[in-house]
Amino acid sequence: MTDPTAGLPDTPALLLDEARMERNISRLARHAESLGVTLRPHLKTAKSVEVARRLTGGTPGPITVSTLAEAEVFFATGHSDILYAVGIAPQKLKRVQALREKGCDLVVILDNAAQAQAVAEASVPAMIEIDSDGHRGGLQAEDPALLQVGRILHDAGCLRGVMTHAGESYTVRGVAAHADFAEQERKAAVTAAENLRGAGLPCPVVSIGSTPTAHAARDLTGVTELRAGVYMFFDLVMAGIDVCTQDDIALSVLTTVIGHQPAKGWTMIDAGWMALSRDRGTATQDVDQGYGIVCDEEGRVLTDYIVVSANQEHGIIAPRAGANPAPLDLPVGTRLRILPNHACATAAQHDRYHLVRQDGGPLEVWPRFNGW
């Protein structure tokens, strides 16, 4: 059998399964098309020019970012239609203006009059963030402040529309529950848009999205664009709420067995939280996956084994609580893969992806970046 990880550098290393990634990308692209909306992928997880190319079909298209560093990198590689989907800090407007002066149609978001005034003075286009589920920031669709903020932006020619993010959809499980959140998300954004229009204010863009709701939405009447971020990779959090299966997870961390503690039932590996991240996003789900699920070198899950503990550069593999699997027989030097709890957090620990092809084709290294 061909070893798909042959030739990789020292562990720990971040692996990206090309076939799974492409399957995940195609799945949401088809769904967005069926709903009649533009897909605006969020690149906060990937932070990679090569992944961006795959997400937009090789031709730069509309994207979402979470940092100005992302906006700068992706604009430099051809993306000019960018939504910066974190509430704008007035001190960052100079960087926004610099990008816009170079030809980047960079749009910011905000949810209060102080931000709106700073944005208006800087002549930067903005979308008003709507609170659709109490998860984070945003204005309620019926809040009088919505029209106040809208007028400040409109008077300066800066009002682009409304956007929302159903972050609370991560707290429920199953397609039906996520579809309910998608409708709640849609209704909040569309109602806000209608209220702005009813006051004589334009609202050309109505943008919604989270990975769970983007996949479960059944009707997006009144919505113009859909956003999602982690879907190209997926992770154990998404699998734990039934947005994907473990077989859809495209990202993993390659690690090496470095020792054993037989009396404790532990297998020691060279991937600690510096490689896996501190994220314990499955701890509140129905099944706690520790710091990640253990797979063999080719990606097959070793049933009921997880990384139960992580130090800076050491991980400890053991059976999950209540399980009694067959003992592991893994000599020192054995390579394993760990599926991540949260792809965003795990990817952020690394500066490159090692692309793994199922056909055993040549490996590629795709750079990724961090920072703000």
Q: What is the pLDDT of residue 7?
A: 64
Q: Is the peptide bond before 62 cis (omega within 30 degrees of 0)?
A: no
Distance CA 53, CA 61 (A): 9
Examine the domain organization and report whether 179 and 261 are in the same domain.
no
Examine the domain organization and report whether 226 and 122 are in the same domain.
yes
Strand partners, 354: 15, 365
Examine the domain organization and report whether 198 and 150 are in the same domain.
yes
244 vs 329: which has the higher pLDDT:
244
Q: Could you give the C-alpha distances from 246 to 95, 122, 178, 238, 270, in angstroms and in order?
A: 40, 46, 18, 9, 23
- Alpha helices, DSSP H only, in 42-167? 49-55, 68-76, 93-101, 113-122, 144-155
pLDDT average, residue stretch 186-192? 98
Domain span holding position 106:
36-232
Asked if the structure places residue 135 within a domain, the reply is: yes
Residue 248 main-chain phi, psi, to 5 deg: -90, -10
Q: What is the pLDDT of residue 359?
A: 73
**Token code pair at residue 198:** 């009813």
Please check the confidence at residue 142 and state whether its pLDDT lies above 80: yes
Distance CA 358, CA 140 (A): 47
359 vs 158: which has the higher pLDDT:
158
Q: What is the pLDDT of residue 8?
A: 66
Please check the confidence at residue 5 and state whether its pLDDT lies above 70: no
Asked if the structure places residue 126 within a domain, the reply is: yes
Q: What integer best gives the mean pLDDT of the chain?
A: 96
Provide the angle, in degrees to the nearest 10, between the axes of the packed helices 93-101 and 68-76: 10
Distance CA 234, CA 339 (A): 10
Please check the confidence at residue 1 and state whether its pLDDT lies above 50: no
Q: What is the pLDDT of residue 320?
A: 95
pLDDT average, residue stretch 58-65? 95
- Residue bearing tokens 């903005």: 126
Examine the domain organization and report whether 172 and 60 are in the same domain.
yes
Q: What is the pTM of this model?
A: 0.94
